[in-house]
Structure 1
């Protein structure tokens, strides 16, 4: 019977999970800084795990000696680079325009010093990080010191996330805060126990959490406003129509009047802020059971389950009042004006999502035309 050591099971699990995350992440064709930094993190971890696996092959066999030397060097060289990728991803989630002090003066110098010491270890056979004795590798004189520095920087990374907590979307903070904590916990296990890749197991688990709670959500989330994008809203509406369970469903479609004027007069940054302001008004006016989506440009849609069809007019009035209150506050140099189209879904009249949304869009267009006709 074939028996495999414990490290082989752990490494195989980590490699399979990382490869699947990389595969599914490729489905998102957007080229945002956040998505690209997550891909770089997955690539770095996958290469490190492959190197760690090759370095553990039997060194007493001649055909494995060279691969073990190369793989050990690769693991120790890539290790701090993985953490550089982590902090780059965190900075991308915080929308920091430039690399932070943390990156420029801690992680990048650490990676450079680590590489110099590693080259000294290999070229001059000084057992700083590791050395070969018999048929296996052993920890060098600086292994524990290196581990303490890495774990200390994980604590510093947690502090960095806490300091910048207001720069993240609310849904991002918890999974990001867990990242260095898991790395710290499994890193301590790595120092205590020999023969297993606990550290990389922690990093793999952290990446899995990031994919579930941030990356996968971003596939259906509008990057600017945080509401659902067109794809996410369409899927939600399609599912709701197919699974109505006797509920009354209404869709409200709205867009900003004179949005181009805001862009032309105050700049595109003000235009983006106007869209964010409108999304915040929608969040304040609707319930958690309602679904808000940005359908494209300055156009938003809201899916509203109703108990009675008569509720719809009161909901529309509440939305208009929310916009009026925003304008009365005069917190921006511009005013928001909206056009609305709304309808209650009827399976006898519309057989699919496209025909229903087309009808609501036509109602929106009619109101927009009336607004344009006003002096």
Structure 2
């Protein structure tokens, strides 16, 4: 019975990892770096689980061949288990911070640690201080200096946990929960590795649950991200407003509808690739202005939406967006200027007003301002005797 339960733990984990990898590797995702990190994590976890399974099967079986296979299974297991722990670190850090330059430096440091670990394993072939196989019983055991392996494996992880806990207020709540679940596996890993023989057997169901949780979170996140701009999409915004309107807590939010001016003209005069660049620039401008708990999304076409708590000064936020646009325009990176029209109001979640009616209201305010700016532009051009280029409107 014990063997059957053990077999279920290993085979179940292996099959789930294979199924997740097979589905995810061919799936389109906005964040290619995150995809590579997650696929790498799946691969090293798979190899770690398989070699740990071989160690379990071979442990205690008599025979010279069994002893040799057990030793080399353990050798590969120790290599890839450390890779797995460090892949969790890289993956968790990137999910929270999204900094490719930081990821590069961390990857170099992690690679150096793993090269050192591999060198120590080679030394272990002659001086079994890491682990050894008892020749009499054909069982695998930790060596006297196994704590070195523990430090190399878990030291960077403990540092990451401390850093994440210290800066947790800077991170989105759902992202922090995701990463905390993965990193909590570390603490369980330390305990099982120190005090339980074949402790990884206990750990594998938790690893599987963590990978599944993150996989579903990644899929949900991909479905809520606009593939062109990298910010939230209409679906995500609808979820946000639905939850806001259903709470009826009385909290108030300032919601802004923003339109990218001259978008049709940009497409017509410079092509759709430049039109895409304009949308990306607009998204980048908004991302540079928002606070941690603010929300931005591409609403559709050339329209964006921004939401912030009512106690924040929405005019300051809009002013900051205009300044960011001016800075970008001054660089003359594009053959056009980024200009915006907007409409906003305060929505109170008390059930007194349908959210659909409110969104139509701020949409109308945006188009009213757009028309006013268009009329003002025409008046100025008439005074100068100039003509608005064909297809260019506010």
TM-score range, shorter chain: 0.5 to 0.7
Count, aligned residues: 315
Task: Give the superposition deviation at 1:77.
Answer: 0.9
User: SS where residue 217 of structure 2 aligns?
Assistant: helix
User: SS where residue 141 of structure 1 aligns?
Assistant: coil
1:82 counterpart (52, 61, 84): 84
User: SS where residue 130 of structure 1 aligns?
Assistant: strand
Task: Give the superposition deviation at 1:192.
Answer: 0.8
Structure 2: tracts of 5 or more residues without a match: 243-255, 268-273, 327-337, 344-362, 378-394
1:62-107 CA-partner distances (Å, limit 9, x unpaired)? 77555434322211111221123222213322122233765544x3
Q: Is the CA contact 1:129–1:143 (under 8 Å) kept in the aligned structure 2?
A: yes
Q: Is the CA contact 1:55–1:68 (under 8 Å) kept in the aligned structure 2?
A: yes
User: SS where residue 56 of structure 1 aligns?
Assistant: helix
Structure 1: tracts of 5 or more residues without a match: 240-251, 285-291, 303-317, 341-360
Task: Give the superposition deviation at 1:34.
Answer: 1.4
Question: Matched residues in 2 for 1:272 and 1:194: separation?
Answer: 52
1:156 aligns with 2:148: no
1:173 aligns with 2:176: yes
Q: Is the CA contact 1:293–1:300 (under 8 Å) kept in the aligned structure 2?
A: yes
1:139 counterpart (139, 142, 145): 142
Q: For residues 44 and 256 of structure 1, do their structure 2 counterparts lie closer, same or farther at Cα, with a shift above 3 Å needed? A: same
1:179-225 CA-partner distances (Å, limit 9, x unpaired)? 32331133212311113413444444333332233453233324798
Query: For residue 18 of structure 1, what is the aligned residue in structure 2?
Result: 17
- Please, what is the CA RMSD of the aligned residues? 4.8
User: SS where residue 98 of structure 2 aligns?
Assistant: coil
- What is the TM-score normalised by the length of structure 1? 0.64
Query: For residue 209 of structure 2, what is the aligned residue in structure 1?
Result: 205
Matches within 5 A, 1:272-291: 272-276=283-287
Question: Matched residues in 1 for 2:84 and 2:166: separation?
Answer: 22
Q: Is the CA contact 1:172–1:213 (under 8 Å) kept in the aligned structure 2?
A: no
User: SS where residue 102 of structure 2 aligns?
Assistant: coil
Matches within 5 A, 1:306-345: 326-327=318-319, 332-334=324-326, 337-338=340-341
Question: Matched residues in 1 for 2:155 and 2:187: separation?
Answer: 8
Q: Is the CA contact 2:131–2:140 (under 8 Å) kept in the aligned structure 1?
A: no
Q: Is the CA contact 2:67–2:133 (under 8 Å) kept in the aligned structure 1?
A: no
- What is the TM-score normalised by the length of structure 2? 0.61
Matches within 5 A, 1:30-109: 30=30, 32-58=32-58, 59-60=61-62, 67-93=69-95, 94-96=97-99, 97-99=101-103, 103-105=107-109, 107-109=110-112
